Structure 1
Amino acid sequence: MLTRKKRNANRRRGAILILVAVLLPVILWMAAFCVDVAYMQLTRTELRIATDAAARAGARTLSLEQDASLAHAAAIEYAAKNNVAGNTLTLADSDVEIGLSVRVDDEGRFEFSDGGTLLNSVHVTGRRTLDSPDGAVRLYLTPIFGHEFFQPATDATASQIDRDIALVVDRSGSMTFKLSESKYQPGWKNNDPVPAGARWWALVDSVDGFLNELGSTPQLELVSLSSYNSSATIDQNLTDNYSKITQAIEKYSKKYPDGSTNITAGMDKGIQTLQNKTYARPYASKTMVVMTDGNHNFGSSPTTAAYDAADADIVVHTITYGGDANEYLMREVARIGGGQHWHAPTEADLEEVFREIARNAPTLLTY
C-alpha cells in the first residue's frame, strides 16, 4: 500500500515538472514582455518631451529673431539636448517645418500649414524609426521571441502668436473734461497742465495698467503710441521699452489738450507704425487699440481707416469712454477691423478694459 502511494506521489511530481517545463517559456516571455513594455513607455515619454522641447525652442527663436533658418537650427539643437532610449535625439532637416498656425474653431484648436510668407509656428516630428537618424530602439528581451525593434514617432507644433500693438489715443479738448462734464472749465488755458480729475488722467493710468499687464507675460510684445485731436502724430514707434510709451503720453499731461476729434487721422498713424519695416516684425500679428471719449467730428470717417487696416491684416479693437462717446460708430469700426468693442462708463472700467486687452495679447503655444 505504501509503495503504491509513493508511486502516485512520484507521478504527481513528474506531472508538475512537465507542466513547469511547458509553462516556463511562457512565463519568461511574459516577464520579458513586461520589461520591454515598460521600456517602450519610458521611450515614448522621453520622445514626447524631446519633441515638445524642440518645437518650443524653435518657435521661441522664430519669435525673437524673426528668422526661419535660426528657428530651424534651434529646434534641432534643443532636440539634441534630450535623451531618448539612452541617446540624444537627432532630427533630420525634414523633421522640422516652419509654417503658419491658424485658429480653426472656438475651442482653441489650431491648424498648421507648412511654408508661406507668414510664419508663426514650428512643427517637429520626433522619430526613432529604422529610417530616422538615430535608428529604431532595440528592445532588451523580446528579440529572443522575434521582436527586435521598437519604432516610436510623435510630433508637436509650437506657435508664437506674437503681436505688434499700436495704441491710438484721444487727446482732443474733451479729454480735459471731468467724466460728468461736457464743456471746458472757465479759466483753463491751452498752455496750462491738464487739470486734476480730467478724463486724460484716467487714460494715463489705464495705459500704465496696460503696459504693466504686458510686462508680466513671458512673451515680448512691441507697442507703439499715436495720438490725435484735429490732426495726429506718431508719438513712439514700436518698441519693447515700455517706458518710452509712458514718457510719450506723459508729455501731453503738461499741456492742455485741445482741438477736434479726428479718429481717422489717429488710426492712419497707427497703421503706419505697424507697417514700418524698421520696427515692425514681419511674422507678428498686428493689433490696433483705438480709444476715444467723444464723437468723430473732423476728417473722413474712421470706417475708411478700418477698411484700410483690415486690408493690411490689422485687427482693430475700439474703446469708448464716458457718456459722450459714439459707441455705435466705434462698434462698427471694430466690426470692420475684425476686433472687439468695449465701452467703459467709469475710470475703473477704462483701466480694466485696457488690462483685459493686454491679457488677451500674449503669445499662445499650441501643440
Structure 2
Amino acid sequence: MMAMSKPLNRKLGRISRRRGAVLILIAVLLPVILWMAAFCVDVAYMQLTRTELRIATDSAARAGARTLSLEQDASLAHKSAIEYAAKNNVAGNTLTLADSDVQIGLSVRTDDVGRFTFSSGGKLLNSVNVTGRRTQQAPDGAVRLYLTPIFGHEFFQPVADATASQIDRDIALVVDRSGSMTFRINRNSYESGWRNNDPVPSRARWWALVDSVDGFLTELGSTPQLELVSLSTYNSSAKIDEQLTDKYSRIEDALDDYSRRYPDGSTNITAGMDRGISTLQNKKYARPYASKTMVVMTDGNHNYGSSPTNAAYDAASDDIVVHTITYSDGANQSLMREVARIGGGQHWHAPDGDELEEIFREIARNAPTLLTY
C-alpha cells in the first residue's frame, strides 16, 4: 500500500494542474466568447435597422413622387415624403426627416439598362430624392447598440438613399382616318357593295384601330399613374378631336363618331403630328412636369403636305418623344421608322389587327414609375 501512494499522488497532482490550466483557459477565452456573442447580437440588430431604414426611405420617396404626380406641386410632394417617413419605425422610433433630407428634381435615363441620374431643382420635376439618416447629426440621432458599447462601439449610424421617379406622360394620339382605313387589311380596295355614305364596313381597318385604342386606354386605366391623352385625326387635313384629358371615354366617343361616317381623303401625316404637338404644348391642359409622348399611327403612305420628318424635328426640339405605328403592307415603314428615330422613340409594324392592339397595349404599359436609386 505504501508503495502505491507515490504514483497515485503524482497522478492526482497532474489532474489538479490540468484543472488549473482549464480554468485559466476559460478565464482567458470567456471575454472573447462574450464579445463574439455581443457582436452577433448587434450585427443582427444593425442589419434589421438597415432594412427598416431602407423600407422607410423607399416609402417616403414613393409617396413624395406620387404626390408630385397627382398634385404637380413640389411643396406638397416634399411634405408628403416627410409625413410618410414618420409612418415607419426605424430602431424602435419613427423616422424623422429634416427638410434638407428631401430633394425635388429631375431624373433622366442615362443608358439602355435603366440607370438614371438625379439632379435637384430645375423647371421640369419628376422625382423625389430622400436621404434617410440615423446619424449623430440626424433629427433622431444615431442608433445605440445593445452590448458592444462595453468594447467601445456605442453607436451605429446607417444612411439610406432613394429616388422615386413618377414619370407621368401626357400622350397625344395621332391616328389615320384617310380613305384607306376603309380597306380590308392588306387589301388596297374597298369592301364590295359598300358606298361612301354607309357606315364603316365591319371588316375595315378602321375597326381594328378603334379596338386597339380601346385596349390602349384600358391599359392606361390600370396603371398607378394618371396619364392624360389627347386625340388628333388626319386625312388630307387634320383636326384636334380632344384635348388632353383623363376622361378616356371622350376619346372613345370621338372615334365612334367617325365610325358612323366614312373615312376619306389623302394621308397628311404631318398635319396630324402638328395638331398632336399643339395639344402637348397647350398650357391649359398639358402638365408642366409630365413627359411628353406622341403616338402616330398610319396604314398608308404620306402623300399630302410636307414631310412628317419636319414635324418629328419640331417635336424633338420640344422634348416630345415620338412613337410610330404602321399598319398593313401598304404603310411606308421606312419613312415612319425615320420619324421615330428623329423623335427619339420606337417604331412598330402591325401586320394585322391583333398585333395592332398588342402594340398599343405595349406602349401603354411602358409608362414608367420607378425607384431610381
* TM-score category of the 2 structures, normalised to the smaller one: over 0.9
Residues 34-53 of structure 1: CA deviation (Å, up to 9, x unaligned): 21111111111111111111
User: Cα distance, 1:93 vs. partner?
Assistant: 0.9
Secondary structure (helix, strand or coil) at the match of 1:211 reads helix
- 1:172 paired residue among 178, 192, 214: 178
Residues 342, 353 of structure 1: 8 Å contact kept: yes
Specify the alignment match of 1:142 in structure 2.
148
TM-score (norm 1): 0.95
The answer on 1:67 being equivalent to 2:66 is no
Secondary structure (helix, strand or coil) at the match of 2:236 reads coil
Residues 42-75 of structure 1: CA deviation (Å, up to 9, x unaligned): 1111111111111111111111111111111111
Once residues 99 and 132 of structure 2 are traced to their aligned partners in structure 1, the CA distance between those partners, rounded to angstroms, is: 11
Once residues 173 and 64 of structure 2 are traced to their aligned partners in structure 1, the CA distance between those partners, rounded to angstroms, is: 29
Residues 78-102 of structure 1: CA deviation (Å, up to 9, x unaligned): 1111111111111111111111111
Specify the alignment match of 1:365 in structure 2.
371
Once residues 364 and 178 of structure 2 are traced to their aligned partners in structure 1, the CA distance between those partners, rounded to angstroms, is: 24
The aligned runs of 1:195-234 (5 Å cut-off) are: 195-234=201-240
Specify the alignment match of 1:298 in structure 2.
304
Once residues 179 and 6 of structure 1 are traced to their aligned partners in structure 2, the CA distance between those partners, rounded to angstroms, is: 105
* Higher mean C-alpha deviation, range 217-226 or range 309-318: 217-226
Secondary structure (helix, strand or coil) at the match of 1:288 reads strand
Residues 102-124 of structure 1: CA deviation (Å, up to 9, x unaligned): 11122111111111111111111
User: Cα distance, 1:7 vs. partner?
Assistant: 3.6
Specify the alignment match of 1:42 in structure 2.
48
User: Cα distance, 1:227 vs. partner?
Assistant: 0.5
TM-score (norm 2): 0.93
Once residues 190 and 64 of structure 2 are traced to their aligned partners in structure 1, the CA distance between those partners, rounded to angstroms, is: 55
Residues 214, 362 of structure 1: 8 Å contact kept: no
Residues 79, 90 of structure 1: 8 Å contact kept: yes
For 2:60, the aligned partner's letter is A
Residues 129-182 of structure 1: CA deviation (Å, up to 9, x unaligned): 101111111111111121111111111111112111111011111111222432
Once residues 30 and 61 of structure 2 are traced to their aligned partners in structure 1, the CA distance between those partners, rounded to angstroms, is: 46
Specify the alignment match of 1:253 in structure 2.
259
Residues 191, 201 of structure 2: 8 Å contact kept: no
Secondary structure (helix, strand or coil) at the match of 1:356 reads helix
User: Cα distance, 1:309 vs. partner?
Assistant: 0.6
User: Cα distance, 1:189 vs. partner?
Assistant: 4.4
Specify the alignment match of 2:250 in structure 1.
244
Once residues 130 and 3 of structure 1 are traced to their aligned partners in structure 2, the CA distance between those partners, rounded to angstroms, is: 64
Secondary structure (helix, strand or coil) at the match of 2:369 reads coil
Once residues 192 and 52 of structure 2 are traced to their aligned partners in structure 1, the CA distance between those partners, rounded to angstroms, is: 72
* Higher mean C-alpha deviation, range 199-208 or range 211-220: 211-220
RMSD of aligned alpha carbons? 1.7
- 1:311 paired residue among 313, 317, 322: 317
Secondary structure (helix, strand or coil) at the match of 2:313 reads helix
Once residues 329 and 75 of structure 1 are traced to their aligned partners in structure 2, the CA distance between those partners, rounded to angstroms, is: 46
User: Cα distance, 1:328 vs. partner?
Assistant: 2.3
Once residues 347 and 136 of structure 1 are traced to their aligned partners in structure 2, the CA distance between those partners, rounded to angstroms, is: 61
The aligned runs of 1:1-367 (5 Å cut-off) are: 1=6, 2-184=8-190, 188-367=194-373
**Shift in CA distance, 326/136, structure 1 to aligned 2, threshold 3 Å:** same
Once residues 186 and 141 of structure 1 are traced to their aligned partners in structure 2, the CA distance between those partners, rounded to angstroms, is: 88
For 1:148, the aligned partner's letter is E
Residues 62, 164 of structure 2: 8 Å contact kept: yes
What 5-or-longer segments of structure 1 have no aligned partner? none
